[in-house]
């Protein structure tokens, strides 16, 4: 199914599996022995073959001894294991000559698949199209910038709400789709495991294994020596679980990974087990992504240690790091003034002259203090400074101040009267929420004033979608029961005891215009879901951690949210929730806007707030609120004063991002994929029912191939859409793009099979009698996947048409012209003509191959030129920058130079592979 891998060698066989090694591409594949998609290569006398050392000869005879085939030629005996790794096959030729032909429809579908595959593999946005995400420019820019590098070890430190998780997922998805990585381990706090699992599966169709104690024990029960971390290529685990278990930690390190991702990286403190784990895992991982919204919240030393994980060679001396930072801050402050005033002072110019040896890289002179630069020169000047002094090789940080499109948030505190028994009940509820007691009370909200308020609110706002989040599944059920007693509203539930499919259906019902009015969620609803079609959030209770509160609000407060968000906080006066609500609202202002430095504030004041809330102690509350406001102002001021404009500029370049967004939007608008997939569905017996624009429900009952690549969790029924806006609202619907595993799998299934690779048509209305042969060759480089040679020379269809006099007539007879005139092939007697089969068609095919060989050379030259231009530019840039920027590593330059050498070799040795052919019989014979 993957002919581009070249010829494979059987390395191992047992009763279940067969292992094949493909030397040309250095890939190993393991298949089920019973139905492996493999065919043994067998040639016959008269065929021309090539040995691994490059010698070509025509086979004169074939012999077999002890199961091994040997090919004999003029003074040559070649065992089959020594055949060239990149040898091509002529299966379509054999099928045609034996009268095994496909309908013209199948041939055309195959050609479309080849063209789409060629276009897709060279697309700049390959791997970015398939995410079920809004196209947020800064996220795409960060992902593109990182994935084009060879050393992908960076700190993603966007502020809360800007989408670090999406950026990390985009990076992983693109690298997986382009096959530059295959093994990934994601380390997260326990509370975020589900969020990551859902984000990867629902948004990017990536199914990760959750490695926990239960799974690891089960995996080693029958084989104590087994390594559970080798059972799956992609996994998520709780960093605390792994750090605290030496056995599992050692096995995780021994497994080796292409990429390690660590969320909430600010918790990696010096000397901790978690930091030691990160250190060991990062040493065995080529790529490393650290995620934190607060990179320096625990101090400069802590930030340095995280950078040391990314690049131990570069960040080896804390004192030297401090000096580099001083120089960097000097340039950053100059950039800030330059951006604000559009001119530099004499002191600024003197400072730059001391830092920069002569002119900048672009040839742009340092501007005089009274100069006004034109926009192009100004941008070139800033970009040169970014290249020389920017930290963007290892750190990316976007801020809300620099990124627009955030909605307005309005807080609605709702104080409610309560009786003594209400306060007592809420005191138990509050203690349970804070895990202050192991006993979870049996919640009864039938007489709770919050339920009475909620019922009235829903009655008054019948057309509004309302999301309610509370602490636990017990509360979800109690709220549901109490609310149903007061009004006949459509209520959907969402909690951790529901299966993933049940949660999908519940969320989908909530998303429908005529569906549920309110969705009642446990805390799991604040993780990884997008409910931004709703504009009302009810906080039935409040978490103590400001970061968790922001996570709840983040289900609605997202980039791209077009409406004002209303946050409703009902609480009984005198309860612990009142103290917490007032602290958040009057002290932190956390309901109205994202709080910079919330973690530091909570570290200082959290225990005091907790104590007051638990004891319902209102005395001294005003003084606490005042201290909170003052501390918030101080931290916010420090953050604003130290705002790193240089880092922001390096983390987001609008013009480059706009180009990425534009290309994805163009692909979204194009209907090629929809038409293609509908034809594929029909080819394999899948019936579709259109349920709305670009959205279909598939009937799989007559599916004709067990190998058809259905999504793993959608075997019973399947609804698909080609529309991004529909996919964003309905997460239970598969969003089909060229990146989707089903679409890529269909391409492999179709092009790896014989379907459509040999066809014949009649052209009865022709004024002349002649025979044409239309042949499609694929020009492809056989190279290791991590070279990503497709960027420069993707598998390229080369079409050649010759007539029976061996004259090329490709331009004279276009595919469209042939299809318009073609009719079903009825002259089967023609294929029985010995001269046609043994003489004419082989000569016509040979002539096509000769013509295709000449055409392929221009493709090879273009690919080579494109590769050398791109890599030479980047190599020269890094060589020059390394002279002044210590962030540039010699290893990265060396890797680029080696990649250029290997790519040159792969492109120059690109081969032509016969993919398909069509015999056209014009006139009457």
What per-residue confidence (pLDDT) applies to 581? 95
CA nearest to 121, candidates 618, 797, 691, 756: 797
What per-residue confidence (pLDDT) applies to 370? 47
Contact 4, 25 (CB under 8 A): yes
Per DSSP, 89 falls in state: -
Contact 822, 762 (CB under 8 A): yes
The residue with tokens 């191959």 is 849
Mean pLDDT of the chain: 86
Q: What's the pLDDT tens digit per position in 598-635?
A: 777 888 899 999 999 888 888 889 999 999 999 998 88
Is the pLDDT score of 295 beyond 50?
A: yes
Q: Give percent helix, percent strand, percent coil of the chain, each to the nearest 5.
A: 45, 20, 35
Is the pLDDT score of 110 beyond 90?
A: yes
What per-residue confidence (pLDDT) applies to 359? 46
What per-residue confidence (pLDDT) applies to 361? 45
CA gyration radius, the chain: 32
CA nearest to 903, candidates 780, 797, 783, 785: 783
Contact 200, 206 (CB under 8 A): yes
In this structure, are strands 409-416 and 466-469 parallel, antiparallel, or unpaired?
unpaired
Q: What's the pLDDT tens digit per position in 762-779?
A: 998 877 889 999 999 999
Is the pLDDT score of 669 beyond 80?
A: yes
Is the pLDDT score of 794 beyond 80?
A: yes
Judged on CB neighbours under 10 Å (0-12, 13-18, 19+), 557 is: buried
Measured distance between the N- and C-terminal CA atoms of the chain, rounded to whole angstroms: 38
Which residue has better confidence, 616 or 743?
Answer: 743
Hey, which of 104-113, 320-329, 824-833 has the most confident mean pLDDT? 104-113
898 Cβ partners below 8 Å, 6+ apart?
Answer: none
User: For residue 27, how many other CB atoms are within 10 A of its CB?
Assistant: 17
Contact 378, 366 (CB under 8 A): no
What per-residue confidence (pLDDT) applies to 603? 85
Is the pLDDT score of 647 beyond 80?
A: no
Q: If you average pLDDT over residues 71-87, what whole number do you get?
A: 88
User: For residue 739, how many other CB atoms are within 10 A of its CB?
Assistant: 24
Is the pLDDT score of 465 beyond 90?
A: yes
Which residue has better confidence, 25 or 123?
Answer: 123
Which residue has better confidence, 439 or 873?
Answer: 873
Contact 195, 165 (CB under 8 A): yes
Backbone angles phi, psi at 358, to 5 degrees: 80, -150
What per-residue confidence (pLDDT) applies to 319? 81
In this structure, are strands 758-763 and 823-824 parallel, antiparallel, or unpaired?
antiparallel
Q: What's the pLDDT tens digit per position in 344-359?
A: 677 777 777 776 654 4
pLDDT band at 525 (very low <50, low <70, confident <90, very high): low
Contact 465, 533 (CB under 8 A): yes
Q: Which residues pair with 866 in a beta bridge?
A: none
**Angular region, 342: left φ>0, alpha ψ -120 to 50, beta rest:** left
Is the pLDDT score of 257 beyond 90?
A: yes
The pair of structure tokens assigned to 813 is: 């007879």
Whole-number Å distance between alpha carbons of 189 and 186:
10
59 Cβ partners below 8 Å, 6+ apart?
Answer: 43, 44, 45, 46, 47, 48, 49, 71, 72, 73
What per-residue confidence (pLDDT) applies to 74? 86
Give percent of the chain above pLDDT 90. Answer: 50
State the maximum Cα–Cα separation within the chain, in Å, rounded to a whole number.
105
pLDDT band at 747 (very low <50, low <70, confident <90, very high): very high
pLDDT band at 378 (very low <50, low <70, confident <90, very high): low
Is the pLDDT score of 90 beyond 60?
A: no
Q: What's the pLDDT tens digit per position in 123-148?
A: 999 999 999 998 999 999 999 999 98
Whole-number Å distance between alpha carbons of 422 and 446:
11
């Amino acid at each position: 199914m993957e002919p581009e891998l070249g010829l494979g060698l059987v390395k191992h066989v047992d009763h279940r599996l067969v292992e094949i090694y493909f030397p040309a591409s250095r890939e190993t594949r393991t298949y089920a022995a019973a139905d492996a998609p493999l065919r043994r290569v067998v040639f016959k006398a008269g065929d021309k073959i090539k040995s691994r050392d490059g010698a070509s000869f025509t086979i004169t005879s074939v012999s077999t001894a002890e199961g091994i085939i040997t090919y004999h030629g003029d003074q040559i005996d070649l065992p089959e294991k020594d055949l060239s790794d990149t040898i091509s096959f002529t299966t379509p030729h054999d099928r045609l000559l034996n009268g095994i032909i496909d309908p013209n429809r199948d041939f055309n579908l195959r050609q479309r698949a080849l063209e789409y595959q060629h276009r897709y593999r060279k697309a700049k946005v390959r791997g970015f199209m398939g995410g079920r995400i809004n196209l947020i420019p800064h996220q795409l820019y960060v992902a593109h910038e990182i994935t084009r590098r060879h050393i992908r070890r960076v700190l993603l430190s966007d502020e809360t709400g800007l989408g670090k998780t999406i950026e990390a997922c985009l990076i992983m998805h693109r690298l997986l789709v382009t096959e530059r990585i295959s093994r990934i381990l994601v380390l997260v706090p326990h509370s975020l495991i589900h969020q990551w699992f859902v984000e990867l599966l629902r948004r990017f169709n990536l199914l990760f294994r959750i490695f926990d104690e239960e799974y690891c024990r089960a995996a080693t029960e029958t084989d104590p020596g087994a390594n559970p971390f080798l059972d799956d290529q992609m996994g998520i685990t709780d960093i605390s679980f792994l750090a605290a278990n030496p056995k599992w930690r050692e096995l995780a390190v021994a497994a080796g990974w292409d990429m390690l991702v660590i969320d909430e990286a600010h918790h990696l403190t010096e000397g901790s087990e978690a930091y030691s784990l990160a250190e060991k895992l990062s040493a065995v991982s080529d790529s490393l992504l650290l995620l934190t919204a607060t990179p320096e919240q625990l101090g400069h030393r802590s930030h340095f240690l995280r950078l040391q994980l990314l690049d131990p060679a570069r960040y080896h001396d804390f004192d030297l790091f401090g000096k580099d930072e001083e120089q960097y801050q000097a340039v950053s402050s100059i950039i800030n003034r330059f951006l604000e005033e559009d001119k530099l002072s004499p002191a600024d110019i003197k400072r730059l002259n001391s830092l920069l040896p002569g002119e900048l890289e672009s040839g742009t002179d340092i501007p005089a203090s009274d100069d006004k630069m034109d926009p192009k020169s100004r941008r070139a000047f800033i970009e040169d400074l970014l290249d020389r002094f920017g930290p963007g090789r290892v750190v990316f940080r976007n801020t809300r101040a620099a990124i627009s499109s955030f909605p307005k948030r309005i807080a609605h505190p709702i104080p409610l009267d309560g009786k003594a028994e209400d306060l007592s009940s809420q005191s138990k509820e509050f203690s349970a929420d804070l895990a202050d007691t192991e006993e979870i009370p049996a919640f009864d909200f039938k007489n709770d004033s919050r339920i009475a308020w909620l019922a009235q609110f829903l009655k008054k706002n019948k057309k509004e979608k309302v999301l309610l989040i509370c602490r636990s599944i017990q509360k979800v059920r109690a709220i549901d029961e109490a609310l149903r007693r007061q009004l006949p509203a459509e209520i959907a539930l969402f909690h951790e005891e529901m299966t993933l499919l049940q949660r999908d259906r519940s969320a989908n019902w909530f998303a429908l215009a005529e569906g549920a009015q309110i969705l009642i969620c446990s805390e799991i609803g604040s993780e990884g879901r997008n409910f931004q079609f709703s504009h009302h959030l009810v906080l039935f209770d409040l978490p103590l951690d400001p970061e968790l509160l922001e996570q709840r609000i983040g289900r609605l407060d997202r980039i791209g949210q077009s409406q004002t968000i209303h946050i409703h906080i009902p609480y009984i006066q005198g309860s612990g929730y009142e103290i917490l609500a007032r602290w958040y609202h009057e002290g932190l202002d956390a309901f109205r806007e994202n709080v910079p430095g919330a973690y530091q504030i909570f570290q200082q004041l959290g225990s005091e707030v907790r104590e007051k809330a638990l004891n319902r102690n209102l005395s001294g509350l005003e003084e606490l609120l005042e201290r909170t406001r003052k501390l918030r102002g101080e931290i916010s001021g420090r953050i604003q004063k130290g705002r790193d404009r240089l880092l922001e500029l390096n983390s987001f370049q609008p013009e480059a991002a706009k180009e990425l967004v534009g290309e994805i939007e163009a692909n979204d608008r194009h209907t090629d994929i929809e038409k293609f997939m509908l034809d594929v569905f029909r080819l394999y017996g899948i019936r579709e029912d259109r349920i709305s624009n670009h959205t279909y429900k598939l009937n799989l009952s007559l599916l004709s191939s067990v190998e058809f690549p259905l999504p793993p969790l959608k075997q019973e029924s399947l609804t698909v859409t080609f529309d991004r806006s529909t996919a964003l609202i309905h997460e239970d619907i598969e969003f089909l793009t060229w990146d989707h595993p089903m679409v890529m799998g269909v391409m492999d299934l179709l092009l790896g099979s014989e379907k459509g690779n040999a066809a014949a048509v009649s052209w009865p209305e022709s004024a002349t009698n002649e025979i044409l042969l239309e042949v499609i060759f694929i020009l492809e480089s056989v190279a290791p996947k991590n070279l990503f040679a497709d960027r420069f020379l993707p598998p390229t269809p080369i079409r050649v048409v010759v007539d029976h006099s061996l004259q090329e007539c490709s331009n004279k007879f276009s595919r469209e012209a042939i299809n318009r005139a073609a009719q079903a092939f009825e002259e089967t007697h023609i294929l029985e003509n010995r001269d046609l089969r043994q003489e004419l068609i082989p000569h016509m095919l040979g002539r096509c191959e000769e013509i295709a060989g000449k055409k392929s050379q221009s493709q090879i030259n273009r690919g080579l030129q494109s590769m050398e231009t791109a890599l030479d530019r980047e190599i020269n840039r890094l060589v020059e920058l390394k002279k002044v920027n210590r962030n540039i590593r010699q290893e990265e330059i060396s890797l680029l130079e080696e990649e250029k050498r290997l790519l040159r070799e792969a492109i120059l040795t690109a081969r032509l592979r016969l993919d398909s052919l069509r015999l056209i019989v014009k006139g009457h014979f």
